[in-house]
A and B are shown apart, each in its own frame.
Chain A
Amino acid sequence: DIQLTQSPSSLSASVGDRVTITCRASQNIRSYLNWYQQRPGKAPKLLISVASTLQSGVPSRFSGSGSGTEFILTIFSLQPDDFATYFCQQSYSPPLTFGGGTKVEIK
């Protein structure tokens, strides 16, 4: 099975900060990496697919990059709505797997 390791597991940041979350895969998954946002008490929401494709309606301050085994989610200028937990997920091959999550909290 493909393991995904996210870092950090949590971070504190202020409104307006730039935030970077890393997801590392245990093997080459090309660009088959997706990012989800989960607000407290809500279902996850797809933000970015195939490493860098922003979903319709997702603000442009979200950006994804990477390929192979290392991927990055960047939030430029953090907004109050962005305080949530972020998960990466590989869609390279079943069994599908998620990273452990990164909780973004208010400093």
Chain B
Amino acid sequence: QVQLVESGGGVVQPGRSLRLSCAASGFTFSRHGMHWVRQAPGKGLEWVTFMSYDGSNVYYGDSVKGRLTISRVNSKSTLYLQMNSLRAEDTAIYYCAKGEYTSPYVLDVWGQGTTVTVSS
């Protein structure tokens, strides 16, 4: 079945870096746009970034532009999120999500999330 498994979360000091991974299975990864969405403790959902199926289109939320970078390796069915210059406000559960084939901005499958805590 369709599955997304995030990894790479942890506790990191402010200003440091972290790279999250999302391993996809059960569908043709190279045909789908992919997203990262985060949720701070006790808060709502915040969309972070999107990359199209072939990497040609990339978008970011305003709060992460210039610090977080999305990438993908289709041959490995893996999505990444490189997180630099981390701040306390980046503390959240990070979910990767698959875009629908015909409507890539509809998030039809979500992973279980990986937790990032930014703290000294």
Are these two chains actual partners, yes or no? yes
| Residues on A facing B (Cβ under 8 Å) | 1, 32, 34, 36, 38, 42-46, 49-50, 55, 87, 89, 91-92, 94-101
Set B47, B108, B110: member contacting A55, Cβ < 8 A = B108
In angstroms, Cα B103 to Cα A46, docked, is 13
| Residues on B facing A (Cβ under 8 Å) | 35, 37, 44-47, 50, 59-62, 95, 100, 103, 105-113
Q: Nearest CB to that of A95 among chain B residues?
A: B61
Residues of B within 8 A of A87 (CB): 44-45
Given contacts A44-B110, A45-B110, A55-B108, contact A95 B103 (CB under 8 A): no
Q: Are B103 and A98 in contact (CB under 8 A)?
A: no
Q: 7 closest A-B pairs (Cβ-Cβ)?
A: A91-B105, A94-B59, A43-B110, A96-B47, A98-B45, A101-B44, A49-B106
Q: Are B45 and A101 in contact (CB under 8 A)?
A: yes
Q: Are A95 and B62 in contact (CB under 8 A)?
A: yes
Interface of chain A, main secondary structure: loop
Q: Are A98 and B46 in contact (CB under 8 A)?
A: yes
Q: Are A50 and B103 in contact (CB under 8 A)?
A: yes
Q: Are A49 and B100 in contact (CB under 8 A)?
A: yes
In angstroms, Cα B105 to Cα A36, docked, is 13
Set B45, B105, B106: member contacting A94, Cβ < 8 A = B105
Q: Are B44 and A44 in contact (CB under 8 A)?
A: no
> What are 11 pairs between A and B in contact, CB < 8 Å?
A34-B106, A36-B107, A43-B113, A45-B110, A46-B107, A49-B106, A50-B103, A89-B107, A92-B105, A94-B50, A95-B61
Set A44, A50, A94, A99: member contacting B95, Cβ < 8 A = A44
Q: Nearest CB to that of B96 among chain A residues?
A: A43
Residues of B within 8 A of A38 (CB): 45
Q: Are A98 and B62 in contact (CB under 8 A)?
A: no
Residues of A within 8 A of B60 (CB): 95
Q: Are A46 and B62 in contact (CB under 8 A)?
A: no
Q: Are B47 and A98 in contact (CB under 8 A)?
A: yes
A27 CB to nearest chain B CB (Å) = 16
In angstroms, Cα B47 to Cα A36, docked, is 13
